[in-house]
Structure 1
Amino acid sequence: MIFDSHVHTEFSTDSQLKIESALEAAKKLKLGIISTDHIDLNYPEKGKFIFDIDNYFNKYYKYRGDNYLIGVEIGMTEEYSDENRKINENYDFDYVIGSIHFVDGIDIYEKIYYKGKEKSSTYRRYFQAMINCIKTHEYVDSLAHIDYICRYATYEDSEIYYNEYAELIDEVLKFIIDKGIALEINSRRLDKAYIIKNLIPIYKRYREMGGNFVTIGSDAHYDKNIGMNIKEAFSIAEECNLRTVYYKNRKPEYM
């Protein structure tokens, strides 16, 4: 079974997707899915990007099976590392993603984060925050969208070029390899050849350093985006000689 391992439903503040619609869309594509709704404990607006996890399990558990698994996307943050760890330990997730959404207390989705800042220093700080956070969230199964900042940065060229940040990216990769954490190929941005070209050196370096496993996720928030650019993600994995996996009961299963 091929799994789209990164799908958001109505438990995420930024999605209204019903689980039934997600499952129907996946079925048409002959895909399995993992719901990975957002928990960002440091989100500044109370009640947003957090949800009742017990209710989540109560509502979705009946669908759990060969084609659907229950996960979560934890927004990694140093100040809530203990609370995030408790969430990981106290619930029977199949899959836990670790993500960076905030740097220095600011959501990098917001344009204000980039105002008056030079790209190189901004991106270096992004990777340093990733290093700091992954070290306190070593239990996650996969590190999500290493290129997340490229979606929202306001620079004329927002892409990451491995050679410009090699020492920092290598530190991220070394840690996740040592801890057995997979690296996600997030397929959301893989609709352009130049983006794929710029990302491949990161995944090749991951392989060179001893990394083996990648997860694949569309980061879908709508049913129409489930499975988006998944073929391109598999092509990256193949070119970089990486094995594609999804997680069930917190253990990798080969696709």
Structure 2
Amino acid sequence: MKFDLHTHHERCGHAVGKIQDYIESAIEKEFTVIGIADHTPYFSSKEDQLFPGIAMAKSQYTEYIREVLQLKEYYKEKIDVLLGIESDFFPDHIETYRQHFDPYPFDYIIGSVHYVDEINIFKKGRWDGLTEEQQVQTKENYYQLIKHSAKSGLFQILGHIDAMKGFYPPFSSIQTDVVQKTLKVIGEVGIAIEVNTSGKTKDVGGWYPSDDILEMACHYGVNVTFGSDAHHPSRIGDDFELVEQYLKNIGFKEWVYFKNKEKIKVPL
């Protein structure tokens, strides 16, 4: 069984193609399940579209949901289309986001930390000039947010949990036990982390999360799922079989996806 739960489309402003293009690509690649999970609007902003090149406008939100549900029905004989969304995590606005999620029939919500100390994690140069102590603190602040997001009750999946390494590969070698503590919490609350293969498109050139994090995740009984984080239809399912085999090799027996926010286990 093949599934990909993390895909985007043109509404976010930095992806190519319509939702239907991603579904058609998944069908062509013989996937059983395709999840659509574009970036949420910035619900806490007064502006309709705070960052047009990053996330959809608030005025596009309900039309996005409507389109995915229509395509779910249209393609139901060919593939299971799931309604998802990728949400930023802002601790001060948890209830605002919850109020926007609760009225709609999401199959799952991916929670991703994209801002640490009010700076985008992918901002090149954000590490320049930091002392070793400041680097450790930045990494710990990142994982404190991820831990908080895991306990918030908003999400079924946590997105790319070491994506700070994307344009700063030394991130993985910053020494702190915060990653281990975070994984322990994620395992306890029972949500999933994704193996996100889009890291190969960044400077780091590999999947999120790193091998050692996946090994720790296995130790702590953390559920894993798969997401290509495709911003182009051609990347649907990128490295799916390689991820599947790697997870088997390090000791995972199953991975999961979500439908109606219920966890569905798939043997590896």
TM-score class, shorter-chain normalisation, is: 0.7 to 0.9
* Contact kept in structure 1, 2:226 and 2:240, CA below 8 Å: yes
Aligned to 2:160, the other structure's residue is in SS state coil
- Aligned residue in 2 for 1:140: 155
Alignment equivalent of 1:207, drawn from 211, 218, 222: 218
* Contact kept in structure 2, 1:186 and 1:233, CA below 8 Å: no
Cα 1:195/1:252, change in 2 over 3 Å: same
Unmatched runs of 5 consecutive residues or more in structure 2: none
> How far apart are residue 186 of structure 1 and its match?
0.8
- Aligned residue in 2 for 1:122: 138
Cα 1:33/1:120, change in 2 over 3 Å: same
Cα 1:54/1:183, change in 2 over 3 Å: same
> What letter is aligned with 1:107?
N
After superposition, what is the alpha-carbon deviation per residue over 1:75-94, rounded to whole angstroms, capped at 9, x for unaligned?
A: 11112111122223221111
Q: Aligned partners of 2:29 and 2:39: how far apart in 1?
A: 24
Q: Aligned partners of 1:6 and 1:14: how far apart in 2?
A: 15
Q: Aligned partners of 2:150 and 2:208: how far apart in 1?
A: 26
* Contact kept in structure 2, 1:40 and 1:76, CA below 8 Å: no
- Aligned residue in 1 for 2:262: 251
Cα 1:47/1:171, change in 2 over 3 Å: same
* Contact kept in structure 1, 2:116 and 2:142, CA below 8 Å: yes
Query: Structure 1 length as normaliser, TM-score?
Result: 0.86
Q: Is 1:237 equivalent to 2:247 in the alignment?
A: yes
Please say which of residues 96-105 and 236-245 is displaced more in the overlay: 236-245
- Aligned residue in 1 for 2:114: 101
* Contact kept in structure 2, 1:173 and 1:206, CA below 8 Å: yes
Q: Aligned partners of 1:196 and 1:11: how far apart in 2?
A: 25
Query: Structure 2 length as normaliser, TM-score?
Result: 0.82
> How far apart are residue 240 of structure 1 and its match?
2.8
Q: Aligned partners of 1:46 and 1:189: how far apart in 2?
A: 26
Q: Is 1:173 equivalent to 2:177 in the alignment?
A: no
* Contact kept in structure 1, 2:160 and 2:208, CA below 8 Å: no
Equivalent residues, number: 248
> How far apart are residue 174 of structure 1 and its match?
1.9
Q: CA RMSD in A?
A: 2.7
Aligned to 2:99, the other structure's residue is in SS state helix
Aligned to 2:180, the other structure's residue is in SS state helix
Cα 1:47/1:121, change in 2 over 3 Å: closer
Q: Is 1:158 equivalent to 2:170 in the alignment?
A: yes
Unmatched runs of 5 consecutive residues or more in structure 1: none
- Aligned residue in 1 for 2:25: 25
Identity %: 25
> How far apart are residue 203 of structure 1 and its match?
1.6
Q: Aligned partners of 1:133 and 1:80: how far apart in 2?
A: 12
Q: Aligned partners of 1:198 and 1:228: how far apart in 2?
A: 15
> How far apart are residue 207 of structure 1 and its match?
1.9
After superposition, what is the alpha-carbon deviation per residue over 1:162-193, rounded to whole angstroms, capped at 9, x for unaligned?
A: x823x211221122222111111112235999
> How far apart are residue 194 of structure 1 and its match?
8.7
